[in-house]
Structures are given as C-alpha cells and as structure tokens.
Amino acid sequence: MPIGELLREKVLAVQEYSLLSWNALTNVFRKPFYWADLFTQADLIGFGSLPIVMLTGFFTGGVLALQSATTLAQFGAKSVTGELVSLSMIKELGPVLTSLMVSGRNASGMASELGSMQVTEQIDAMRALGTDPLKKLVTPRVLSTIVMLFFLTIISDALGTFGGGLISTTMLGLEGAQYYHMAYQYLRYPDILEGLIKPIFFGFIIATIGCYFGMSTRGGTQGVGRSTTQAVVVSSVLIIASDFVISRLMIGVFGR
C-alpha cells in the first residue's frame, strides 16, 4: 500500500474513533437512555471482572512486598515495605494492572460482540429499525466501563495492600501494625487522587477502543478475530502511554 494511502487510512481511523467517542459521551445527555443495557453491561464488566481483578491485585501486592523487602533489607529499611507497596499499588499498579486485565477481558469482548453484529448486518438492522446503535450499544458500555473500573481499581488497591501485608507478616517477619502504619502514614491525598483519576481515563480508552474496533469490523469471522486482537493491543498500549502522561501531569501539579 502506498504511504499516502496508508496515512489517509490512519487519519480517517482517528477521525472515526474521535467521532464515535464524542457521540458516545454526548449521547449521555440525549434521550432515550438505555438504563437496562447500562446495568447489564455494568454487571458483565464489573462483577464479571471481579475474580481476575481480586487475584491480580492480591498477588501483585504480595510479590511487590516479597521483592522490595529483599532489596530494602540490604539498606536496613525493610520496615518501609508497607509504604512502598501501598504507594505503588495505589498510584500505579492498581489502576494500570486492573485496566490491563479488564482490557484483555472486556475490550476483546466488546470488539468481538459488536464485530459479529456488524458482519451479520445486525447493526444495520438496528439502524433500519430506528435505533441508534451508538446510543444503545456504545454509550452504555463506555459509561459502565468507566464507573466499574473506578470501583474495581479501589478493590485491587485494597487487596494489593492486604496481599503485601499478608506476605510481609507471614514470610518476611514484619509486624502487621508496622506494615499497615507505614502503608497509611506516607499516603497523601494527591496519591489517592492520582490513583482514582487514572481508571476514569483508562475505562474510557478500553470501552471506546473496544467499541470502535467492533463497529468498524469488516470481512466476516476473520475480521472479527482481527478486530478483537487489535482492540486488546491498541487499548493496552494506550493505557500504558496515557499512564505516563497522567503521571507526569500529576507530578507537575502536586509535586509527587
């Protein structure tokens, strides 16, 4: 494919993605609103992702405590393990890992579901029946992903800190009170704010990318497979890239 054609295609894709994202957001203020679809998606995305998010959070906190305590012990600072685990979990690992897990599970799910509907003309049928697919299919997915990822991240943060505490007390010989004291003492509101702002952006990325690749699927079942893979890859890369940008902004604003 000539470079000019390739560039044109990429610019067109960005334009279509921006339009879909804009419409998905502005539809929140336009009737009709599909409450039932919103709750169904919230259940699928939120409750459905709970086991993997809990396990990921718990074991990440645990391994973080394990690895950091070994290094910190060399400097006689093993006691600050709690601080390191809680700050890492709340500011970075909780939001990013939860988002990556939800992205793997839900961005792919959205792309394959909407992609199958697209190739079997169900999306066209919906439009022909007088229903806006963006309102009925995309907006509920975007809203429920943003809201549920916010709460999933909180659960992941809590379980990660708890996992770190469990490993620290049972395997590293730290006192529970000392661990939790350190975990709490050095935590500041900007840290919590950063950890809670990130999932809002990440949720938006997961849902809009998943829906965009689903809605733009072409080429039968092979196309559905391609869209599913692309949705996971693109959303994961965007999560990590936007994590860097948000972190830098927060450091710029709050100085930590």
- Residues at the site binding other proteins, with contacts judged by CB under 8 A: 30, 32, 120-122, 124-132
Contact (Cβ atoms closer than 8 angstroms) between residue 182 and residue 72 = no
Work out how close the CB of 144 gets to other proteins at its nearest, in angstroms, rounded to a whole number: 17
DSSP 80: G
Contact (Cβ atoms closer than 8 angstroms) between residue 191 and residue 94 = no
Work out how close the CB of 130 gets to other proteins at its nearest, in angstroms, rounded to a whole number: 4
Work out how close the CB of 116 gets to other proteins at its nearest, in angstroms, rounded to a whole number: 8
Secondary structure of 84-115 in HEC code, one letter for each residue: HHHHHHHHHHHHHHHHHHHHHHHHHHHHHHHH
- Helix then strand then coil, in percent of the chain rounded to 5, is 90, 0, 10
Q: Which residue lies nearer to other proteins by CB, 37 or 191? A: 37
Backbone angles phi, psi at 210, to 5 degrees: -60, -45
Q: Which residue lies nearer to other proteins by CB, 32 or 176? A: 32
What single letter denotes the amino acid at residue 151? F
Work out how close the CB of 180 gets to other proteins at its nearest, in angstroms, rounded to a whole number: 46
Q: Which residue lies nearer to other proteins by CB, 10 or 30? A: 30
Q: Which residue lies nearer to other proteins by CB, 78 or 135? A: 135
Q: Which residue lies nearer to other proteins by CB, 76 or 130? A: 130
Closest CA to 213 of 101, 99, 119, 97: 119
Work out how close the CB of 124 gets to other proteins at its nearest, in angstroms, rounded to a whole number: 5
What is the C-alpha to C-alpha distance for residues 234 and 104, in angstroms, rounded to an integer? 11
Contact (Cβ atoms closer than 8 angstroms) between residue 63 and residue 18 = no
